[in-house]
Structure 1
């Protein structure tokens, strides 16, 4: 007779989230790299997100120290990877993310750009692209770090324009600079350096870098990424891993099999998987509150979020593309949203009645976040209905 499957309740899943995502005060991390490892990767599409996500998980969220990890120590690096999205991961994990996901995406980026060249009909081809890339890298070696605008002004090839999707109703003329830099960055040949302005700025300077060695077999890299994801997000389903990585369902299943994922039951009787030996109880942490930014990994780690998000709250907190906006969390549940007004005030709204104690704790955390932001102003790239209402 086979082993009976243990049921991991929604309450236990929320306890795991608070502890393993470093959101409960007693579980917070000491470095950005450790905070990133706790959730596998921090979303980096929006420049401010990585700092706000790290701030919620750090014992001492000092901006200068955080910037040092990104731009001096290179303890945390940005990779175009899962779901063709920019993520920040620890330097230790980066080779696995590169081999499992980023290399494939980089190859598609190069192929897509060359297809645009062919459709444009100006005679640009792989040889032209190679020369443009060489000129760009030479300019960075001579004068870098430089922004994309600075590179375009000094590298003639980057000032070329092409017609994208010619003959289609969405035909448009675009400069090649952004696309060439995107390919170089996807391949790890350039990396983002300190932006112009403060930490909220997306006007990054670029510097020449070396690609990851590429020695890891893809299957091994996918298995390691799946193992880390299971520890951070398990129990979860094959569909969750497929969605989070952007892999095919077959690739997700192979990676889970390679790490020996074990089955458990969820509330309601559905089957999910955990890391080997990880079906035991996780004690609930102390009460905790968090104000997490748009695209924070705790809100984007699963395709099915019903254990921590009331489906009735989705319309207010998500945009049409499925991106979560700034969210308020109470003991592992999304209970509302927040925003920053133009004068710097942090405003928030609960979508559930939690009582006076929770409201007081959330208010105190909003005040701490406002003090930490100081003069910085944060507007999410992906706006949600509730965030727009709060700043109106």
Structure 2
């Protein structure tokens, strides 16, 4: 990427403080009364709540929008439809604002597709991929189907080849067509509907994706607003996109004046949205509990600055963020925690990596009380060793 004059210098502390502010996670934002308006606003601010574990997504959302409970998040999903559960960044399940789904599907469907990870006999041709996506969209229009029901519909619309059991699943083999399930979500042909008993169901959200160029430009701007300064490499890692593609995208946006380069501590050159160069002068303060796969811990880079020292070993799984719920103290990871629910009782164990003083202990107790409000239970705090390992 072409080097340009950098007129702004940003320290890690400044970048971290702004990210926390914009995630509604900072003490300064809380004291100023700044919080997400509702569940959709919280999900939009973090660029999607990771929802492989739905209870973790509910907590990520609720902690950013005070007064929001897990019931409110479910109402936003299944009744008000202001949230959508679908395949988001990295092909993983996220909660996204319904009002932003056209942007998301436009951007995600524009990502270059890499080589197939499946053996040659299991792969699908480009024509087969298109046939399956079209069949999924058709089958789910005006319907809510379980995966088995959807499989029958896809096979009947495409051919028996789609049903060949060639894709490794959980202790079984899945039909060939399922390897493009997440792609159907990225194309806007599929999203989750409410469970039918214990079974997940899917539907067609009826979204028309935004044009690719417009959508990717908007996603970069929103990403940089939430997590900038950032490099094209950071963006590529967050999105699971090719680095070369991300580099060219940033180059094009820089040439159009949509983003600008700053000098960022430990990274050299990094990027922010054009004109978005104001940063807090005060360092981050406060205590926060963040759940599994919280967007802030996954997207914030450089990772070794967010997980300093012992935190890098204790709170990451082989360098991967999100597999442990984390304790933030003054904006950096300073411990791990775990919750275990039994009825309304929620046993919360927090393991700080260094002792907390009286002020921070009180702040931790307030965080645990807030967790109970979101999860609609009665929390009980224990400060001690967390024996549970990383989430798979």
Matched, 1:47 2:54: yes
Matched, 1:331 2:330: yes
Once the 2 structures are TM-superposed, how far is the Cα of residue 135 of structure 1 from its aligned partner? 11
Aligned pairs for 1:137-156 within 5 A: 137=139, 141=142, 144-148=143-147
| Shift in CA distance, 252/387, structure 1 to aligned 2, threshold 3 Å | farther
Q: What is the distance in 1 between the residues matched to 2:60 and 2:96?
A: 13
| Shift in CA distance, 254/376, structure 1 to aligned 2, threshold 3 Å | farther
SS at match of 1:174: strand
| Shift in CA distance, 196/224, structure 1 to aligned 2, threshold 3 Å | same
Matched, 1:163 2:161: no
SS at match of 1:235: coil
SS at match of 1:338: strand
Q: What is the distance in 1 between the residues matched to 2:12 and 2:77?
A: 35
Aligned to 1:12: 14
Q: What is the distance in 1 between the residues matched to 2:121 and 2:34?
A: 48
Once the 2 structures are TM-superposed, how far is the Cα of residue 113 of structure 1 from its aligned partner? 11
Aligned to 1:271: 269
Aligned to 1:193: 193
Q: How many residues are aligned here? A: 364
| Shift in CA distance, 220/353, structure 1 to aligned 2, threshold 3 Å | same
SS at match of 2:306: coil
Deviations 1:336-388 (A, max 9, x none): 111112542111111134422112211231233135424599xxxxxxx9561
- TM-score where L is the length of structure 1: 0.76
Report if aligned partners of 1:348, 1:390 keep a CA contact under 8 Å in 2. Answer: no
Matched, 1:205 2:204: no
Once the 2 structures are TM-superposed, how far is the Cα of residue 233 of structure 1 from its aligned partner? 0.6
SS at match of 1:89: strand
Structure 1 unaligned runs (5+)? 120-124, 378-384
Aligned to 2:382: none
Matched, 1:238 2:236: no
Q: What is the distance in 2 between the residues matched to 1:52 and 1:110?
A: 35
Q: What is the distance in 2 between the residues matched to 1:376 and 1:80?
A: 32
SS at match of 1:11: helix
Q: What is the distance in 1 between the residues matched to 2:213 and 2:354?
A: 44
Q: What is the distance in 2 between the residues matched to 1:267 and 1:94?
A: 34
Q: What is the distance in 1 between the residues matched to 2:137 and 2:276?
A: 51
Once the 2 structures are TM-superposed, how far is the Cα of residue 97 of structure 1 from its aligned partner? 1.9
Deviations 1:8-53 (A, max 9, x none): 2222122112210111323210112211221222222222232111
RMSD of aligned Cα (Å): 4.1
Aligned to 1:256: 250
Q: What is the distance in 2 between the residues matched to 1:204 and 1:247?
A: 28
Report if aligned partners of 1:133, 1:180 keep a CA contact under 8 Å in 2. Answer: no
- TM-score where L is the length of structure 2: 0.76
| Shift in CA distance, 183/307, structure 1 to aligned 2, threshold 3 Å | closer
Report if aligned partners of 1:233, 1:301 keep a CA contact under 8 Å in 2. Answer: yes
Once the 2 structures are TM-superposed, how far is the Cα of residue 334 of structure 1 from its aligned partner? 1.3
Aligned pairs for 1:89-238 within 5 A: 89-102=96-109, 104=111, 116=122, 126=128, 133=135, 137=139, 141=142, 144-148=143-147, 162-164=165-167, 173-175=173-175, 179=179, 182=182, 184-196=184-196, 203-210=199-206, 212-216=207-211, 218-238=212-232
